[in-house]
Amino acid sequence: MNGAPPLSNLIHLLYKKVLQPFLFQLDAERAHNMAVQGLRFFEKWPGSLEFFQSQFVIHDPRLEVMVRTLTCPNPVGLAAGFDKALEVFPILPYLGFGFMELGTITPKPQKGLEKPRLFRNKARKAILNRMGFNNPGLDAALHRFEKGRRKKLTVPMGLSIGKGVNTPLEVADNDYLHCLGKAYSLFDYVVLNVSSPNTPYLRALQAVSPLRKLLTQVSKTVQNIAQSTGEPSKPVFVKISPDDSDEMLEAVVRTAVECNLGIIATNNTIEPHLLGPKWAHEKGGLSGRPLKDKANAVLKRVYQLTRGAIPIIGVGGIFSAEDAYEKIRLGASLVQVYTGWIYEGPLLIPNINRGLLKLMERDGFKRIQDAVGTAY
Ligand SMILES: Cc1cc2nc3c(=O)[nH]c(=O)nc-3n(C[C@H](O)[C@H](O)[C@H](O)COP(=O)(O)O)c2cc1C
Which ligand 1 atom sits closest to the C-alpha of 292? 25
Higher pLDDT, 197 or 152: 197
Distance 234 CA to ligand 1 centre (A): 23
3-state secondary structure of 179: helix
Distance 342 CA to ligand 1 centre (A): 12
Cβ of 292 closer than 6 Å to ligand 1, yes or no, is: no
Residue 273: per-residue pLDDT: 80
Mean pLDDT of 213-232: 96
Helix, strand, coil % in the chain, rounded to nearest 5: 45, 15, 40
Which ligand 1 atom sits closest to the C-alpha of 135? 8
pLDDT at 150 over 80: no
Distance (Å, whole) CA 152 – CA 276: 46
Express as a percent the part of the chain with pLDDT over 90. Answer: 84
Q: Tell me, what DSSP letter sits at residue 17?
A: I
Find residue 335's DSSP bridge partners: 76, 314
Residue 1 lies in a domain: no
Residue 274: per-residue pLDDT: 80
Distance between alpha carbon 4 and the CA centroid of its chain, in Å? 25
Against a cut of 0.85, is the pTM above it?
yes
CATH number of the domain encompassing residue 271: 3.20.20.70
Beta carbons of 326 and 374 less than 8 angstroms apart: no
Residue 376 lies in a domain: no
Q: What is the DSSP string of 100-129?
A: EEEEEE-SS-B--SPSP-EEEETTTTEEEE
Residue 244 lies in a domain: yes
Residue 44: per-residue pLDDT: 85
Residue 2: per-residue pLDDT: 52
Cβ of 306 closer than 6 Å to ligand 1, yes or no, is: no
Cβ of 316 closer than 6 Å to ligand 1, yes or no, is: yes
Confidence of residue 209 (pLDDT cuts 50, 70, 90): confident
Residue 233 lies in a domain: yes
Mean pLDDT of 14-23: 95
pLDDT at 56 over 80: yes
Residue 5: per-residue pLDDT: 72
Domain that residue 101 falls in: 6-371
Pocket test for ligand 1, best of 199, 266, 268, 339 (most atoms within 8 A of CB): 268
Cβ of 356 closer than 6 Å to ligand 1, yes or no, is: no
Which ligand 1 atom sits closest to the C-alpha of 318? 26
Distance (Å, whole) CA 318 – CA 344: 10
Residue 292 lies in a domain: yes
Nearest to 76 by CA among 360, 373, 356, 367: 356
How many domains is the chain partitioned into structurally?
1
Cβ of 80 closer than 6 Å to ligand 1, yes or no, is: yes
Cβ of 342 closer than 6 Å to ligand 1, yes or no, is: no
At 341-354, the pLDDT tens digits run 999 999 999 999 99
Q: Tell me, what DSSP letter sits at residue 19?
A: I
Residue 285: per-residue pLDDT: 93
The active-site residue out of 196, 219, 233, 333 is: 196
Residue with the smallest CA separation from ligand 1 atom 15 is 267
Cβ of 160 closer than 6 Å to ligand 1, yes or no, is: yes
- Supply the mean pLDDT for the chain: 94
Active site residue 160: no
Q: Beta 76-78 vs 334-337: how paired, if at all?
A: parallel
Residue 259: per-residue pLDDT: 96
Residue 238: per-residue pLDDT: 97
Q: What angle do CA 274, 275, 279 make, to 5 degrees?
A: 110
Confidence of residue 1 (pLDDT cuts 50, 70, 90): very low
Mean pLDDT of 271-292: 87
At 73-107, the pLDDT tens digits run 999 999 999 999 999 999 999 999 999 999 999 99
Please report which helix (H) or strand (E) contains residue 287, including its range: strand 285-288
Residue 35 lies in a domain: yes
Cβ of 352 closer than 6 Å to ligand 1, yes or no, is: no
Distance 224 CA to ligand 1 centre (A): 31
Distance 189 CA to ligand 1 centre (A): 17
Residue with the smallest CA separation from ligand 1 atom 10 is 80
Residue 3: per-residue pLDDT: 65
